[in-house]
Amino acid sequence: MKKIVFLFLALFIASAVYAKPQEYIRDHTYMADDFDSKYTSRIRAIDGVKQKLIEELGVYIQSVININKDSSGNEMFSHDVVTLTAGIVSTNILKEKWSNPSYYVKASMKADQNEVQQAVKALREDQNLEKALRYSQSELTKARQKINKLGASLRTQKSAESLGKLNQQYIDAAKDLETEYAFQRAMKAKVEGNFEESYAILRKLADKNYGAAQSRLGHMYENGMGREINYKEAVKWYLKSIENGHAAAFARLGFIYERGLGVRVDVNKAVKLYKKGVALNNQHSQSRLGWLYQIGSGVEKNTKKALELYQQSISNGKHGRGFARIGFMYEKGVEVNLDYGQAAIYYQKAIERGNAYGSGRLGWLYVKGFGVEDNYEKAKELALYSARYNNSQGLSVLGHMYERGLGVEEDQDRSFEYFMRGAKLKNRRSLYRIGRKYHKGIGVDQDKYEAMKWYNKAAELGHPKAIRKLEKLRAWDDDF
């Protein structure tokens, strides 16, 4: 019996390794409008056929993931992985023909299990790659929505002046589509270890003054994707992108100044950049400026304004950070009635859009049973997802769970490690918990002076319990 089982496993593994590549061939004809050029017609035809191919390829990728999901020891976030992996599978144009007013494209996509597994592995191991692809998919959706909306306006517009402006916006939207597909080709090259090709693909479009491509180059330099991290180069390309009217670059450049990445921290400059992005309805600028209003950094604290900006940021249904921030307001009862159930709903929506902060916050609700039934297994899963992106919320939740032995074996060393990682990110709960460990002697030698130091750091960030504990300890030692 054992021999039969081993033989079956061997045959299964062999069939998986040597399975023939799966190929899909589809075609699409785009019927051009009067305002379409050969360029815009080609882009829209290619986009149409790619959407057909990706939809079909997704079914195959899902089956590969289901076959192999347990081999890595972890469940996959299936829908996202299918979408992201399909986005970086090569498309081969087999035939194209422009016969005004129609543009015909025939294309194929080919993938095998090894290629899919390689892409999935890369997504699991490279946070920046996964985040970049998520963002790219979101930008593709926005570009499609924009080009469709502009097309509808161009069909009904009578004013010659307005037609000229709309037509340029229509061309720019087509360029954004072209840029995102080029970016995904660049990310495929990155997965294959071909960093120079990855860079060259984007540089070619950036040199044509495509604002989106220039922003993408800045992103690559900021995060070390195919290049060494170089904040000076990132700033250079973000500025070029801004000059060419790309709204997302305002948020990226603002973030560099807000966090002091290769430059001196300048929150006031970040605020100005975010406001310019907000004026262009950029969701990233809206949520980042909202946070500054919420905490009163660089602007006067205004939680009502913060909520308004968060609500604007989720208007297209794609921006995870905005959902997470609104969830936090429901969790704490800021500008809305305290409602843990609503908080959980918003956090879940944030998670579905790949937001690590929302995952950490929802994990905490599962630990406490606030708005959801307490579920330590679910809490750990969510916290680990959050911690994977080095998000301080998930790290803090894991520290708490290991300290108390909630759904995991109690481990004070691991608890301290997670809290310390959260503390380095200025997570006030983590700072407080380290202070509490020294105060109570939990997994460390009791040391009230060390406790006061950590309580003080948490108190500076407004942690209420840390403030109260610090007052008591100061009363204990007037010399502190």
Which residues, other chains included, contact 332 with Cβ-Cβ below 8 Å and sequence gap of 6+?
A: 338
The candidate with the shortest Cα–Cα distance to 392, out of 432, 363, 368, 425, is 425
The candidate with the shortest Cα–Cα distance to 181, out of 250, 107, 232, is 107
More confident residue, 109 or 309: 309
Q: Is 411 left (phi over 0), alpha (psi -120 to 50) or beta?
A: beta
> Above pLDDT 70, what percent of the chain?
91
Q: List the beta bridge partners of residue 107.
A: 26, 93
Structure tokens at 133: 């692809």
Structure tokens at 400: 């708490």
Return the number of other C-beta atoms located less than 10 Å from residue 304's C-beta: 10
pTM for the full model? Answer: 0.76
In order, the DSSP letters of 7-24 are HHHHHHHHHHHSPPPEEE
Q: Is 354 left (phi over 0), alpha (psi -120 to 50) or beta?
A: left
Structure tokens at 346: 């918003």
What pLDDT does residue 75 have?
43
More confident residue, 24 or 306: 306
Q: Comparing 15-29, 330-344, 387-401, which segment has the lowest mean pLDDT?
A: 15-29
Per-residue confidence at 4, pLDDT binned at 50, 70, 90? very low
Q: If you count them, how many residues does the chain have?
A: 480
Per-residue confidence at 119, pLDDT binned at 50, 70, 90? confident
CA 24 to chain centre: 29
Return the number of other C-beta atoms located less than 10 Å from residue 234's C-beta: 25
3-class SS of residue 254: helix
**pLDDT tens, residue by residue, 175-186:** 889 888 888 888
d(CA 414, CA 431): 15
Structure tokens at 452: 């006061």
Are 43 and 20 in contact by the 8 Å Cβ rule? The answer is: no
d(CA 400, CA 430): 9
d(CA 314, CA 457): 33
**pLDDT tens, residue by residue, 62-107:** 777 766 554 443 444 556 677 777 777 878 999 999 999 999 999 9
Mean pLDDT of the 30-40 span: 94
The candidate with the shortest Cα–Cα distance to 375, out of 357, 397, 354, 391, is 397
The candidate with the shortest Cα–Cα distance to 16, out of 84, 79, 88, 66, is 66
d(CA 139, CA 273): 20
Q: What is the CA radius of gyration of the chain?
A: 25
**pLDDT tens, residue by residue, 177-228:** 988 888 888 888 877 778 788 788 888 888 988 888 899 889 889 988 777 8
Residue corresponding to tokens 């608890």? 415
What pLDDT does residue 19 have?
53
3-class SS of residue 379: helix
* Pairing state between β 91-99 and 22-31: unpaired
Backbone angles phi, psi at 106, to 5 degrees: -120, 130
476: exposed, middle or buried (C-beta count within 10 Å: 0-12, 13-18, 19+)? Answer: exposed
Backbone angles phi, psi at 43, to 5 degrees: -60, -45
Query: Amino acid identity, residue 24?
Result: Y
d(CA 45, CA 102): 9
d(CA 391, CA 403): 19
**pLDDT tens, residue by residue, 19-29:** 567 888 999 99
Backbone angles phi, psi at 35, to 5 degrees: -85, -5
What pLDDT does residue 79 have?
63
Return the number of other C-beta atoms located less than 10 Å from residue 315's C-beta: 12
The candidate with the shortest Cα–Cα distance to 309, out of 62, 318, 321, 298, is 321
**pLDDT tens, residue by residue, 138-173:** 888 889 999 999 999 999 887 888 888 999 999 999
Mean pLDDT of the 229-235 span: 94
Q: Is 443 left (phi over 0), alpha (psi -120 to 50) or beta?
A: left
In order, the DSSP letters of 110-171 are EE-HHHHHHHHHHHHH-HHHHHHHHHHHHHHHHHHHHHHHHHHHHHH---HHHHHHHHHHHH
Angle, helices 392-404 vs 356-368, to 10°: value is 30
The candidate with the shortest Cα–Cα distance to 357, out of 288, 449, 268, is 288
